[in-house]
Amino acid sequence: MSDSQKLVRIVLRYEGTEYCGWQVQPGAVSVQEVLEKAFESMTGIKARCLAASRTDAGVHAWHQEVCLPNQTRHEPDALLRGLNFHLPDDVVVISARWAEDGFNPRRDAVGKHYRYTIHNAQYPPVFSRNTCWHLRYHLDLSAMNRACRILTGEHDFSSFRGAKCEAASPIRTIDHMSCTRSGDKVLFDVFGKSFLKQMVRNILGTLVDVGRRRWSPEDVSAILEGKDRRLAGQTAPAKGLCLMKIFYDVESYNASM
């Protein structure tokens, strides 16, 4: 394979507060756009990158896999340094290497880990205000985890599907889902290969109602079976959600859950 056909596989980390999401959209600034502009500023070449996951507006990423075509003679380490020089402060390349022949960051992914962070205290956060949802009231994590177990597995998630979701099918599989407490934080972790638009945030909004004892875990089963978005809870704010990792190895994916 010639240099012009090779792909560079990078891992991107970003705070999504100022962006309309990953994907390029007219009239708004996306993470994809600033990455491609940084590549053009460094190399003088326009190129289209391919990411493993399309995060929504305001959603963050700790580990987003992206491929860029190597249309230059730059080695991956040089691309890492050059891209970071041209990228804004809220987007950073944390690793770069040659992609394996035929590698596709979206198609080859075996699983994804998303985490939603709730700041569960009387006072609002200061330093993490852009990356969590502040909730003052007590949350019953035992009830929330019972609801998580109901939603785990393969289901029709129409009740948790965003209004503008373009997926052909509402059937998705959640491999693992749980809520844990760490100091003033409640962490909601979910693992699966793919998710519907706003699915994770709609599930979390519903789990919060369970945690507040507005609904029982059994109510969540009825919501799921109802296949109607109007039955479920609110959409949790985007700022609390973060794409934590994309997995390409089944063994490491299973070990992480």
- Same domain for 134 and 221, yes or no, is yes
User: Which candidate in 56, 89, 90, 249 is catalytic?
Assistant: 56
- Same domain for 115 and 71, yes or no, is no
- Same domain for 145 and 58, yes or no, is no
> Which among 41, 65, 98 is the end of a domain?
98
Q: What is the pLDDT along the chain (257 residues), one digit of tens a residue?
A: 344 468 999 999 999 999 999 999 999 999 999 999 999 999 998 999 999 999 999 999 999 999 998 877 789 999 999 999 999 999 999 999 999 999 999 999 999 999 999 999 999 999 999 999 999 999 999 999 999 999 999 999 999 999 888 889 999 999 999 999 999 999 999 999 999 999 999 999 999 999 999 999 999 999 999 999 999 999 999 999 999 999 999 999 999 99
Q: CATH number for the domain including 54?
A: 3.30.70.580
- In a domain? residue 40: yes
- Same domain for 94 and 29, yes or no, is yes
Report the number of distinct structural domains present in the chain. Answer: 2
For residue 5, the model assigns a pLDDT of: 61
> Which among 66, 98, 130 is the end of a domain?
98
- In a domain? residue 142: yes
Residue 52: DSSP 8-state: S
In whole angstroms, what is the distance from residue 141 CA to residue 180 CA? 7
Report, in angstroms and rounded to the nearest whole number, the Rg of the chain calculated over CA atoms: 19
Domain of 124? 111-249
Phi and psi at residue 251, to the nearest 5°: -65, -45
The yes-or-no answer on residue 56 being catalytic is yes
